[in-house]
Structure 1
Amino acid sequence: MSISSSPTLFTVTRQEPRLVVPAESTPRELKQLSDIDDQEGLQFQVPVIMFYRRNPFMEGEDPVRVIREALAKALVFYYPFAGRLIEGPNRKLLVDCTGEGVLFIEADAEVELDQLGDTILPGCPYMEELLHHVPGSDGILGCPLLLVQVTRFSCGGFTFALRLNHTMSDGVGLVQFLNAIAEFAQGNGLTAPSVLPLWRREILSARKPPQITCLHHEYEQVVDTNNDNNNKHEILRSFFFGPKEIRAIRNHLPPHSNGSTFEVLTACLWRCRTRALTLDSNYPVRVSCLFNGRGLHDLHVPNGYYGNAIAYPATVSKAGKVCTFPLVYALELVRMAKAQVTAEYFRSVADLMVIKGRPMYTVPGSFFVSDVRHLGFNMVDFGWGKPVYGGTAVSFPNVSFCMSFKDGIVVPICLPQGVMERFEEELKTMTDEPLGGSFDDRPFKISSML
């Protein structure tokens, strides 16, 4: 179901942005990013936001002061975040650990958290107020690697909003850093975070000599022959999937069909999105699931590593098949995409970046979905308790995220206006729970469909 709330008018008063530097002196050195880190597709800024309620046990404590001081302490250990990116030979990105600091904004909003309702979810109409764009701060080279804004509400609650240069960390690495800030914010006499950060970016750098050993549909360079939706204004809406909606989607699958909730939901979203785009039946479409390589024992990513350890393998189909075949077809393609990932796949990605000059991922016809429900954004506690909502603040035209909210999952989708209307209609047919099962039980074989 689509989530919508009427925006509430309120005023935000911001102080001038200031730089927060490490609380102690840190090494001045150059640190090289991995070949997974500095690929073209990760050279952008990703915003995250967390909303916190008033906590009577923290009465008299200022969240701005507490978090700013804790941030300075965490930067002693995560000092590369206080540096600036520079470009070396062959466009290789390096962190110049200058200790210049990260941008920090203190703000106050004349509104109570409860007045905002579900507008706190991705697509939040107040994002520019709660995470202010500082002119000249959002470049990749020579700019602060983090922007933080803490905004106090009149009820005693607050928001913690952050913008990260994605080349520095993935979601796991960012949450690790946020938890370090939270541990210092809670005090308890800590002198170091419980998880010590490790740089070790050579783990995910190309081999010598590099060699591409796997098939990488996600980096194929193709010409976009679908111009119908190009250059159209896109809108962002969030969709909530509780137990009822997930159950309804599963009713479109064969009984006892394999597939996690994330896989089933991704298949459904991909199918609805492809139908809404009204593509030519022979137009190639791709689905990619972001995969965290930390669980691959042959990759040897150590505890504390906070760089990008992600890959997004893709499977390809014709749009007509995704639109007309039963949902189980899309589900099997999603599962096939995830099944490709091995330690060798990661090494092949790193090698591909060097051999092919860090290409952009395939954009035309692609849909990327990342499951960030279990990363811990909704668990970061600066002393005021867990956030009401914690996760990514936006979606992108080809990228969506699955995030925890209440008893279900919220997914932001970004599409042109007309396409969005068709998408909502398609999704409604998938999530309206029928009285009986709706599984399309026409006989077919998955192998023949693929």
Structure 2
Amino acid sequence: MVSIESHSTIIPSKPTPNPKLYSLCEQIKLRTHGPVLNVYNAPNNNNTSTFLETLKNSLSQALVIYYPLAGRLSLTKGGRWELHCNAKGALFLEAKCETNLNDFGDFVPNNNLVSQLIPKINYNLPIEEIPLLAVQLTRFRCGGFTLGVSACRAVIDGTANSCFMNLWAKLTRGENLSENELAPCHNRTMLNSRKVAHSQSLHWHCEFRPAPQWVGRELGNSREVSVAIVKLTQEQLLKLKKNANSRVSFQPTVSKDVIIRRKPYSTFEVIAGHIWRCVTKARYIGNNDQQTRLSTLVDIRNRLNPPLPSGYAGNATFPTVTPTRSFNDLICKPLDNAVDDVRKAVERIKGEFVMSALDYIDREVDMDLLRYNIFGNPAKSVRDGESKRNPNLFVVSWMNFSLKSADFGCGGPVYFGPGYMDSEGKAFIMNNGYGDGIVVAISLEASCMNSFRKKFYDDIEEVFSTSKL
């Protein structure tokens, strides 16, 4: 078991700017924290007390550069967030585990021991007292250690958090920072429609509308959520991509003197579509007309004109959703139908559409309702006193996050992934760390998990065998 030995507050090592930051993009984010687990082999310096102090000192220096993470949120009119850069600091926990890292096997999120490696956030405190960043260093008997990091979703996204972690690691190693690393962009007004020209085009923002609800009969009262890790080898991934792209022509097509070449589906598009179909099959109980949709988040840093600065350090992800499909439609049609839905959902998030979305958020009166429509979990909703099942899927890509750079002096993490998954029907797609496969962490109702696992692998072989006939 894991025991907490100490806790402290780490404040910036130097005075920092103290503005109040506001971003329309961040208004639709939850105030909860995204838990990430990094697992490391033993550091070269076996003096644990020295390593601990180095880690704390470098975090204090990193918070000078990423000073908003040392601040606090406050609530304004209509349930909107405002970020006070007041240097109140980050929470740092030191813990010990009387076991070896090898005893864990796969670091499956929500596993009893794994969940103890993530710092716990007390949401019963007033919002102005809740730290935006919490870190837990857990030392193991073998000398290895884990860093559980919880960062508030309302102020930072995965891309910015990855940059922060890499910078913190570089400071821990005692290396000099580049000019770009020293000056991340904290200007939140870049994603504030009140500071830019309003979009003149109206768009239907289905991503802000309520998700389909489960209808009809239930399978019992148990709603226990199970989390699993499923892996794809490079060979299996190539089979999936070949199948998804088998009915698509990549030859140039001339239309009005313009040559249009259809791109092959991306790794994310293919895997997300495959997961969506397999989850739907696992949930299927003869309810052909049950409606479902897939949602995901898109990093818009390079999707605006002009693009955001590469070092934009806030949350710059926008939600997007596929068209709503029936279970029967999704299951019976070929894989590329689901994959194409994912592509269209991702491709719409750019320029004018984003400006229109910002205007929509700016005009919204009830931000709590809007957040629930985007991220609310139908499996936890209450209707007539009963918990309802979830027919939808939320998929997040972590494939672009660099693992090797988060080296605190003992090499990059041997494992990187979500430390806890707090809702049913959610999946993370990640590289396996060796560059030759994909890892998917997924949460589903326990009663559906075995069926999902089987279909996840069986469907790859079935479609590949059929395609060779």
CA-CA distance at 1:335 after TM superposition? 1.4
- For the structure 1 residues 24 and 235, does the alpha-carbon distance in structure 2 shift closer, same or farther, using more than 3 Å as the test? same
2:291 corresponds in structure 1 to: 284
1:8 corresponds in structure 2 to: none
SS at match of 1:98: coil
1:204 corresponds in structure 2 to: 191
Deviates more, 1:240-249 or 1:152-161: 240-249
Are positions 1:368 and 2:394 aligned together? yes
1:335 corresponds in structure 2 to: 343
Are positions 1:232 and 2:223 aligned together? yes
CA-CA distance at 1:23 after TM superposition? 0.9
How far apart are the structure 1 equivalents of 2:277 and 2:2? 40
Match of 2:274 among 264, 268, 275: 268
SS at match of 2:138: strand
Match of 2:354 among 339, 346, 359: 346
- Show CA shifts across 1:310-346 (max 9, x none): 1222121222110111111111111111221211222
1:219 corresponds in structure 2 to: 208
CA-CA distance at 1:199 after TM superposition? 1.1
Amino acid in structure 2 at the alignment position of 1:269: I
SS at match of 1:16: strand
2:236 corresponds in structure 1 to: 245
Judge conservation of contact 1:48–1:163 (CA < 8 Å) in 2: yes
Are positions 1:255 and 2:281 aligned together? no
How far apart are the structure 1 equivalents of 2:98 and 2:165? 26
How far apart are the structure 2 equivalents of 1:191 and 1:221? 44
How far apart are the structure 1 equivalents of 2:314 and 2:145? 29
Aligned length: 426
- Show CA shifts across 1:412-438 (max 9, x none): 11111112222223223213478x732
- Show CA shifts across 1:175-208 (max 9, x none): 1111221121011365987342211111111247
CA-CA distance at 1:164 after TM superposition? 1.1
How far apart are the structure 2 equivalents of 1:419 and 1:138? 36
- For the structure 1 residues 383 and 213, does the alpha-carbon distance in structure 2 shift closer, same or farther, using more than 3 Å as the test? farther
Match of 2:414 among 388, 391, 412: 388
CA-CA distance at 1:378 after TM superposition? 5.2
2:321 corresponds in structure 1 to: 314
CA-CA distance at 1:297 after TM superposition? 4.6
1:79 corresponds in structure 2 to: 67
Deviates more, 1:193-202 or 1:244-253: 244-253
Are positions 1:147 and 2:134 aligned together? yes
1:108 corresponds in structure 2 to: 96
Gaps of 5+ in 1: 1-10, 442-450
2:466 corresponds in structure 1 to: 438
- For the structure 1 residues 231 and 353, does the alpha-carbon distance in structure 2 shift closer, same or farther, using more than 3 Å as the test? farther
RMSD of the TM alignment (CA)? 2.7
How far apart are the structure 1 equivalents of 2:214 and 2:99? 47
Judge conservation of contact 1:276–1:420 (CA < 8 Å) in 2: yes
How far apart are the structure 2 equivalents of 1:300 and 1:254? 30
SS at match of 1:37: helix
- Show CA shifts across 1:99-128 (max 9, x none): 21111001122222223222x243443233
SS at match of 2:116: helix
SS at match of 1:352: helix
Judge conservation of contact 1:108–1:152 (CA < 8 Å) in 2: yes
Amino acid in structure 2 at the alignment position of 1:315: T
SS at match of 2:26: coil
How far apart are the structure 2 equivalents of 1:259 and 1:190? 37
Q: TM-score, normalised by structure 1?
A: 0.86
CA-CA distance at 1:78 after TM superposition? 1.6
How far apart are the structure 2 equivalents of 1:389 and 1:177? 18
- For the structure 1 residues 132 and 266, does the alpha-carbon distance in structure 2 shift closer, same or farther, using more than 3 Å as the test? same
Judge conservation of contact 1:180–1:193 (CA < 8 Å) in 2: no
Judge conservation of contact 2:96–2:140 (CA < 8 Å) in 1: yes
CA-CA distance at 1:271 after TM superposition? 0.3
Are positions 1:404 and 2:431 aligned together? yes
How far apart are the structure 1 equivalents of 2:442 and 2:133? 25
Match of 2:31 among 23, 28, 43: 43
Match of 1:18 among 5, 8, 15: 8
Amino acid in structure 2 at the alignment position of 1:341: I
Deviates more, 1:258-267 or 1:350-359: 350-359
Match of 2:85 among 97, 103, 110: 97
Match of 1:158 among 141, 145, 160: 145
Gaps of 5+ in 2: 249-263, 379-390
Judge conservation of contact 1:287–1:314 (CA < 8 Å) in 2: yes
Amino acid in structure 1 at the alignment position of 2:3: T
Q: TM-score, normalised by structure 2?
A: 0.83
Amino acid in structure 1 at the alignment position of 2:346: K
Judge conservation of contact 1:326–1:440 (CA < 8 Å) in 2: no
How far apart are the structure 2 equivalents of 1:394 and 1:430? 28
